[in-house]
Structure 1
Amino acid sequence: MEPLIRLFSAWSGKAPDKIEALPPTGSNRRYYRIFYTSQQTPDRPACGQTSCIGVVGTNRSENLCFTGMARHFASQGINVPEVYAVSEDGMCYIQEDLGTLTLFEAVAPGRNSGNYSDEEKALLLKTIRLLPKIQYKGAEGLDFNLCFQEKELSHRQILFDLNYFKYCFLKAVHNDFHEASLQDDFDLLAADLLKDRAETFLYRDFQARNVILKDGEPYFIDFQGGMRGPVYYDLAAFVWQAKAAYPDSFRRQLVEAYMEELRKYCDIDETFFRDRLRLFVLFRTIQVLGAYGFRGYFEGKVYFTESVPYAMANLRALFADGASAGLQARYPYLCSLLRMLCGRPEYMPTDNSDRRLTVKVCSFSYRKGIPEDRSGNGGGYVFDCRAMDNPGRYEEYKKLTGLDAPVIEFLEKRGEVQKFLASAEPLADSHVERFISRGFTNMSISFGCTGGQHRSVYCAQKMAEHLKERFGETIRVRLIHRERGIDRYL
């Protein structure tokens, strides 16, 4: 933190008014919102806001990749956060604060209901129309030596992704397969994906979570995994984003909007383009299943295991398309495995008859931010446990959590926690009853303390158990101890 404060002071000429840690992301980078009093000077343009984002990374090459690409993209007229300052050692930097509204959150009501509004569709179409500019203008003059992982999509990189699927998904759910036959199809698929020599920028993670809406305009982040590569991959990643579950008719609209914009940069043989796109939809979906397998089956993150049926639905639709018969003929063993997986009962579509209320009960550390509610509903409570005596202040409890007997005994002996929950539980009960009567499907109850280890863990555990005992099978109770890496249903 100190190096970041020094960098901010050198850039702004003042000390920050306040610094807030932002919620953790999937990376090792740590983000902070820095508040300050904006002031314009002749030698430094004002950022036009009273906050900026400070980033502390753990990998110098990754940091320099992001900041270098961001500056290049900005020079090409692409909407990305402005980089204000980078430390001499490259380990921290300061960038523009674009706000907090992601495209993923903006279209959450449509995603959750399965019915995207005209306004939501307009945002998605606006975003996909900007992709060709990123791919072509972004590649113009870009020093691909900046790339953090690979400079271009290669046979080796493709096999990394395919083997990610094999080891992290396939072996976890179906270990009875012929490895040599699968590898034959992997090798052929990798060769086919690289048939086109590409001079365009491949974003690699072009999805709604990596788009921030500022004044209604899409701005792009998290492109440091990019490299030189074909245009089809990013289109497949966005349009076939698994849990987005876009209707087929709207998918066609998105592809048409992209192709219309793409024609400004190159000539298109539409039949050839669509054939190549189908190939990359297959590849991207396989890669996504690998990620879901690792994050879901190995790390125990429920969100990712719940996302698997959506990816399988994309594969079913791909195989049902008569134009995809060539894929099944060219990669027979791979496609036979995928078709078998698609038919497994746990991956089949549901009739959405289970409309029970899901109550998410979460413990968290205030140091790492209040948990986000991504349901699109926003109902529930956040309880602050920090007024109670903290077991973490005592040496014998520092390595324990609110699930361990000594900590439980410590809290209950003092009597504070019983009074606290005696006030919280009736509030939660009445809220749950009201949500059930109104047919709502999501509610969140969070308990926070300093480290998310003792008091909040105890309270969240007790609340989840109370709700399950009180309401039984009329609701689903999802218990998350965020800082402990626990995410499960009771």
Structure 2
Amino acid sequence: MHQLLELYKQWRGEEPAVTQQLPVAGSNRIYYRMTDGEGESVVGCIGTSRDENHAFIYLARHFSKRQLPVPQVLAVSEDELRYLQTDLGTVSLFDAIRGGREAGGRYTLKEQELLKATIRELPNVQFRGARELDFSNCYPQPEFNIEGVLFDLNYFKYCFLKATELDFHELKLEADFRLLAKDLTAERCDSFLYRDFQARNVMLTDGKPFFIDFQGGRRGPFYYDLASFLWQASARYPDKLRAELLDDYYEAAQQFIEMPKRDIFASRLQLFVFFRTLQVLGAYGFRGYFERKQHFIDSIPPAIQNLRELLQTADFQYPYLISLLRKLTELPRFQRIEVTAARSDGYKTTDNNPYKAHPKDGPATFSKYDGKGPLVVKVFSFSYRKGIPEDESGNGGGYVFDCRSTHNPGRYEPYKQLTGLDEPVIRFLEDDGEILTFLESVYKLADAHVERYIQRGFTSLMFSFGCTGGQHRSVYSAQHLAEHIHQKFGVEVRICHREQNISQTLEAKQ
């Protein structure tokens, strides 16, 4: 500690007024927030590995030159065991989305936007950050390779699998491990593999994501980081949100490289999700079972649930390994796992082309609205006291849903000045749950109607949600239906919260 204070004094010209040790996570490195008399702070690090520190210092300086969102290295000791970096604040992405995580995966719009901003920034680090990067500075190895994969798989075997006392055949398991390692390394990638890309390693400064703890990065496949982030065991991202985040990543990455076709992308990603799930179980076993760190012990049940779901949906060609993992997920200690993620299967989409008429429809009949397209959907929220919104299209209006049967946040003082777009109201409604049940039925009606209107080339469809004041329940419902329709069908959706005088247009996807 004395040497870190000396480094600060050399850099700043005086000792810090306040030095505070930061909470320790999975790393053996120790961090301190060091603040001067004027309230300006930096973060000091004391590491136990010179090579690990060197990797971080080199990568941080390289990324800073490329103007990537990372902390800047301010001062480094001669032996590189201590350094100072800019202080990115106290709020991590993990902290900012805590509400959605603790609500079992019901993330607010604000939380979803933070996740999307982060995932859109990732390709910038992976692809632009890899340009002119000397990977020989990476720690503990410069490249994702078969040896590294086998190390991680054996980490899972020795630190988790053996701790369960499940009987298995070592040689058969090793043979499948080698097949998996070969498949994972079949494609050479020149991108930067962050390796520990997770919400805890993203800091929010002025609402923008900054990346930390990338010292374990190396050259490798970009799929790995996606698997780490989107299938993080404790996050419980609903399938619908995960699909949206994948789409955002795919589009952002297209700016840097020619991405593989969607089906190939999905297939490769699934393989890395499988590998990453085994790897994190190994880490949880070591940090939890052996080091007795409660956070990692608590992370094991959702990780097992991730593995269980993956084995149910995927078709991996590693027969002995898969049979062994099925036995693992069926162990009594892992059977009573509470899965609280609301609507974890998201909104299912059809493989059929909605623009193609069904052969059983019979001979086509036409009205003056048929075949004109494209469809524009209008969604309103309103107060029944002020009447149902008028339809200006000439169609006479569409669905009108009465939200007044659901629990009303407006009855409680803390919510009276807020609307259904504000996070406290959203949390109230979703924790109560009545609005979610209500919307499940709405979505089914709306999906069938939108799909049929698209087939027939209709140009206008209207949905309206009313409640007592047109402020809370109707606003929440209208906003969520609009976003659901836009995400699922890609049509233009116009939102009008009439009593709030708020309008928004979600442009049609090309």
TM range (shorter): 0.5 to 0.7
* Distance (whole Å) between structure 1 residues aligned to residue 18 and residue 224 of structure 2: 41
CA contact (8 A) 2:302 2:337 kept: no
Q: Does the aligned pair in 2 maintain the 1:308–1:347 contact within 8 Å?
A: no
| Correspondence 1:148 to 2:159 | no
Match among 70, 87, 111 for residue 77 of structure 2: 87
Deviation at 1:20, TM superposition (A): 1.7
CA distance in 2, matches of 1:307, 1:19: 31
**Any idea what SS the aligned residue of 2:19 has?**
strand
- Contact 2:18/2:34 (8 A) holds in 1: yes
Q: What's the secondary structure of 1:95's corresponding residue?
A: strand
Secondary structure of the residue that 1:152 maps to in structure 2?
coil
Question: What displacement does 1:93 show?
Answer: 0.8
Tell me the alpha carbon deviations over residues 191-237 of structure 1, each in whole angstroms, 9 at most, x when there is no partner. 01001011110011000010111110111110000111001000000
Q: What is the correspondence of 1:98-109 to structure 2 with a 5 Å cutoff?
A: 98-109=88-99
1:339 equivalenced with 2:326 (yes/no): yes
1:72–1:142 Cα contact (<8 Å) kept: yes
Partner of 2:13: 13
1:216 aligns with 2:207: yes
Amino acid at match of 1:66: F
Specify the structure having the higher radius of gyration (Cα).
2
Q: Give the Cα separation in 2 of the matches to 1:250 and 1:343.
A: 28
What is the deviation of 1:142? 1.0
Aligned to 1:251: 242
2:144–2:218: 8 Å Cα contact kept in structure 1? yes
Deviations 1:297-322 (A, max 9, x none): 2222333233222112212222232x
- 1:369-391 CA distance string (max 9 Å, x none): xxxxxxxxxxxxxxxxxxxxxxx
Say whether residues 1:173 and 2:164 are aligned partners.
yes
Mapped partners of 1:99, 1:112: distance in 2: 23
User: When the two structures are superposed, what TM-score results if normalisation uses the length of structure 1?
Assistant: 0.67
CA deviations on 1:144-201 (whole Å, 9 max, x unpaired) are 1211200001111101100011111111114311111111100000001001011110
Relative to structure 1, is the Cα distance of residues 126 and 5 closer, same or farther in structure 2, using a 3 angstrom cutoff?
Answer: same
SS at match of 1:149: coil
For residue 349 of structure 1, report the CA deviation from its aligned partner: 5.7
- Taking structure 1 as reference, are residues 300 and 16 closer, same or farther at Cα in structure 2, changes over 3 Å only? closer
Equivalent of 2:270 in 257, 278, 286: 278
Q: Give me the whole-angstrom Cα distance separating, in 2, the residues matched to 1:24 and 1:289.
A: 20
Whichever residue aligns with residue 296 of structure 1, its letter is G
Q: Structure 1: how far apart are the matches of 2:166 and 2:339?
A: 30
- Verify: 1:56 aligned to 2:43, yes or no: no
After TM superposition, the structure 1 = structure 2 runs for residues 39-50 of structure 1, keeping only pairs within 5 Å, are 50=40
* Whole-angstrom CA distance in 2 between matches of 1:301 and 1:277: 30
- CA distance, structure 1, for counterparts of residue 295 and residue 139 of structure 2: 28
Which one has a larger percent helix, Structure 1 or Structure 2? Answer: 1
Number of residues of Structure 1 aligned to a counterpart in Structure 2: 339
Name the SS for the 1:242 alignment partner. Answer: coil
Give the conservation status (yes or no) of the 8 Å contact 1:309–1:348: no
Change beyond 3 A, Cα 1:32–1:305? closer
Indicate the SS of the match to 1:73. Answer: helix
8 Å Cα contact 1:169-1:289 kept in structure 2: yes
Shift of 1:24: 2.6
Paired with 2:330 and 2:49, the residues of 1 have a C-alpha distance of 42
Asked if the contact 1:313–1:349 (Cα under 8 Å) also holds between the matched residues in 2, the reply is: no
Structure 1 gaps, min length 5: 39-48, 354-438, 440-490
Identity of aligned residues (%): 51
Q: What is the CA distance between 1:137 and its match in structure 2?
A: 0.9
Q: Which residue number corresponds to residue 317 of structure 1?
A: 309
Give the corresponding residue for 1:136: 127
Residue 332 of structure 1, CA deviation: 0.6
Partner Cα distance (2:15, 2:175) in 1? 60
Change in CA separation of 1:272 and 1:180 when aligned onto 2, cut-off 3 Å: same
SS of the residue aligned with 1:85?
Answer: strand
In structure 2, the CA distance between the partners of 1:157 and 1:110, relative to structure 1 (3 Å rule), is same
- In structure 1, give the amino acid aligned to 2:34: I
